[in-house]
C-alpha cells in the first residue's frame, strides 16, 4: 500500500499584509497512516494556575467524604458538571505564606512554596514558581513560554501588598522567573490580544492600534480561503469554529476601545479594560483559551482578583467590598456573603472549563489534555492562615490525572507536594523538589 498524502506543518500560519496568525491543530497536520500520539503534532499537556484571594469558607468548600463518592459542596457547585475531571486535595499547608505581611506574600509563595525570607543554595529551583519551571520545559517550542494575567493591579505600598524587605512582587503576582525576579501580570485585554497576535505592547503602539480599523482576520482572509479549499470536511468545520472564536474575541476587544469617556474627567487608565469585572475576567479567560488552542502557549497563570481586593459583587447581591468582608469575625451572615462571592468565582471558572471542554485538541478536548490548579494560598481569611488550603485540580493531563476524587492528607502535609506532583504529571522530569516538598502524591 502506498500512502502519498502530504501533511500540513503544525507551525503553519495564515499570512497577509504583514500579519500572521497561528492555527489550531487540524487533521491535515497529522501524517497519513500515523497514530496521533506518535507525531510531533500530538497535543502536549497544558498547565494553568488560577489563584483567588482571601481563601474560602472551608466547610462550604471541602467535601465531607473522601474518595470517589464525595458530594459537591456549595462553593464548588457551579463546577459540578466537571466532577469527573475534578480532583479536590485537602489538608495541605504552605508554611512559606505564614508570618508577617500575609497579603504581601500569599500570591508570590503559592507556586514556589518558598519564603522570601530564606534561601536554599542547594536547590537551583528554590524560589522559582512552578509555572516558570514548567515554561522552561513545555514552552521551548511555543511563541510564549508562559502567559501571566490578572484583573486588578494592587502593587503599591499604599495598598498594603508591598513589604519592606521583599518589595511589591510577592503581593502582585504568582509567577517568579527567579527567586528575585517576579513577572508582571497583564490585566489589559486589548494589550494582551495584540501581544498574542503580533501587535504592539507599549504606549505608542497602543495609540496606533486604537486608531486602526483593520481586522486581523481580514488581513489573513485570502490565506485562510486558500487553505480551507485544501482541507477535509472536519478540518473545514474546525477552521470555521476557530475563526469565529478569534472574530468574537476581536470584536469584544474592539468594543472596549470604542468607549467614549470624553464627558468625564478621569485619571489615566489602561486602554481596553472594561468597567464590568465579569466581562473583563471572561475576556481574559477567552484569550487564555485561544492561547491554548493555537499553542501560542501551554502554560498560563491568572490572579482572578487581587489581594486586598475592594471589588464589590452587586451582580450576585453583595455590595460589601470583598477584603473587608473577608474579615468576617465568624459572623454567620458575613461568612455566608463570602461564600456567595467564592461560589461566583467558581461560576466564572466553570465558564472557562466549558470552553476548554468543547474545544477539540487532537484525540480529545483541551480540558482532557490540561492540568489546571484552582485555589488560594490562604485558608481562613479571618485568621490569615495557610492551613488547610482550598485546592482543586481540573483536567486529566492527557490521562495522567485520575480525576473524580477527593483526597485528604495528614495534617501539615506540604502544599508543595501537590505543586511538585502537577509538574511530574505534566511530564516535566528532573525536578526533584520544590520549596519544602517531601514527595509526590501517587493518588493524584
Report pLDDT digits (tens) over 377-422: 999 999 999 999 999 999 999 999 999 999 999 999 999 999 999 9
Q: Which residue has the cell 485585554?
A: 189
pLDDT, position 234: 82
- Tell me which H or E stretch contains 373: strand 370-375
Enter the CATH code of domain 47-187+274-444: 3.40.720
User: For 9, how many CA atoms within 13 A lie in the half-sphere containing its CB?
Assistant: 5
Mean pLDDT over the full length of the chain: 83
Predicted confidence at residue 175, as pLDDT, reads: 95
By mean pLDDT, which of 67-81, 134-148, 240-254, 379-393 is the weakest? 240-254
Instruction: Label residue 15 exposed, middle or buried (CB < 10 Å: 0-12, 13-18, 19+).
Output: middle
* Measured CA angle at 155 (ends 153, 161), to 5 deg: 115
**Which pLDDT belongs to residue 119?**
79
* Per-residue pLDDT tens digits for 244-298: 777 766 665 565 455 443 433 322 323 457 789 999 999 899 889 988 988 889 9
Identify the bridge partners of residue 444 per DSSP, sorted by sequence position.
none
Q: What are phi and psi of 21, to 5 degrees?
A: -135, 135
Sorted by where each begins, the domain ranges of the chain are 47-187+274-444, 195-272
Question: pLDDT value at position 439?
Answer: 96
Helices (H), 312-399: 322-326, 332-357
Question: In whole angstroms, what separates CA 428 from the centre of its chain?
Answer: 18
Which of 74-83, 206-215, 357-366, 431-440 has the lowest average pLDDT? 206-215
- Residue 163 has what pLDDT? 57
Average pLDDT over residues 61-88: 98
Tally Cβ neighbours within 10 Å of residue 167: 18
Top pLDDT among 32 and 132 is at 132
Take residue 161 and report the three cell numbers written for it: 501588598
Is there a contact between 369 and 395 (Cβ–Cβ < 8 Å)?
yes
The runs of H, that is alpha helices, within 168-256 are 169-172, 189-196, 203-211, 216-219, 221-228, 233-256
pLDDT at 244: 76
Amino acid at each position: 500500500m502506498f500512502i502519498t498524502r502530504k501533511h500540513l506543518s503544525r507551525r503553519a500560519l495564515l499570512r497577509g499584509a504583514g500579519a500572521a496568525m497561528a492555527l489550531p491543530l487540524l487533521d491535515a497536520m497529522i501524517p497519513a497512516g500515523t497514530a496521533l500520539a506518535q507525531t510531533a503534532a500530538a497535543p502536549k499537556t497544558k498547565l494553568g494556575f488560577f489563584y483567588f484571594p482571601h481563601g474560602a469558607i472551608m466547610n462550604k468548600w471541602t467535601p465531607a467524604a473522601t474518595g470517589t463518592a464525595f458530594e459537591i459542596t456549595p462553593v464548588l457547585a457551579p463546577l459540578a458538571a466537571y466532577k469527573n475531571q475534578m480532583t479536590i486535595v485537602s489538608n495541605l499547608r504552605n508554611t512559606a505564606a505564614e508570618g508577617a505581611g500575609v497579603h504581601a506574600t500569599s500570591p508570590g509563595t503559592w507556586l514556589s512554596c518558598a519564603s522570601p525570607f530564606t534561601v536554599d543554595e542547594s536547590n537551583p529551583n528554590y524560589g522559582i514558581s512552578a509555572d516558570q519551571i514548567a515554561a522552561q520545559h513545555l514552552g521551548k517550542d511555543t511563541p510564549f513560554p508562559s502567559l501571566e494575567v490578572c484583573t486588578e493591579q494592587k502593587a503599591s505600598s499604599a495598598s498594603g501588598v508591598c513589604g519592606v524587605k521583599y518589595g511589591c512582587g510577592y503581593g502582585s503576582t504568582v509567577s517568579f522567573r527567579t527567586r528575585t525576579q517576579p513577572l508582571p501580570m497583564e490585566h489589559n485585554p486589548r494589550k494582551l490580544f495584540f501581544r498574542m497576535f503580533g501587535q504592539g505592547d507599549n504606549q505608542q503602539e497602543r495609540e496606533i492600534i486604537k486608531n486602526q480599523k483593520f481586522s486581523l482576520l481580514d488581513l489573513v482572509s485570502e490565506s485562510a480561503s486558500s487553505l480551507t479549499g485544501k482541507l477535509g470536511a472536519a478540518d473545514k468545520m474546525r477552521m470555521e469554529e476557530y475563526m469565529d472564536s478569534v472574530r468574537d474575541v476581536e470584536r469584544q476587544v474592539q468594543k472596549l476601545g470604542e468607549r467614549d469617556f470624553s464627558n468625564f474627567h478621569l485619571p489615566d487608565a489602561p486602554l481596553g479594560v472594561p468597567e464590568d469585572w465579569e466581562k473583563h475576567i471572561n475576556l481574559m479567560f477567552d484569550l487564555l483559551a485561544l492561547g491554548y488552542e493555537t499553542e501560542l502557549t501551554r502554560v498560563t497563570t491568572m490572579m482572578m482578583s487581587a489581594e486586598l481586593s475592594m471589588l464589590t459583587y452587586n451582580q450576585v447581591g453583595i455590595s460589601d467590598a470583598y477584603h473587608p468582608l473577608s474579615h468576617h469575625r465568624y459572623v454567620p451572615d458575613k461568612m455566608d456573603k463570602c461564600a456567595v462571592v467564592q461560589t461566583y468565582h467558581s461560576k466564572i471558572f466553570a465558564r472557562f472549563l466549558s470552553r476548554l471542554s468543547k474545544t477539540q485538541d487532537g484525540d480529545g478536548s483541551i480540558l482532557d489534555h490540561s492540568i489546571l490548579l484552582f485555589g488560594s494560598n490562604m485558608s481562613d481569611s479571618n485568621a490569615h492562615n495557610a492551613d488547610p488550603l482550598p485546592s482543586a485540580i481540573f483536567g486529566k493531563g492527557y490521562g495522567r490525572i485520575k480525576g473524580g476524587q477527593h483526597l485528604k492528607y495528614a495534617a501539615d502535609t506540604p502544599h508543595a507536594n501537590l505543586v511538585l506532583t502537577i509538574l511530574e504529571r505534566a511530564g516535566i522530569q528532573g525536578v526533584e523538589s520544590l520549596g519544602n516538598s517531601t514527595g509526590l502524591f501517587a493518588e493524584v
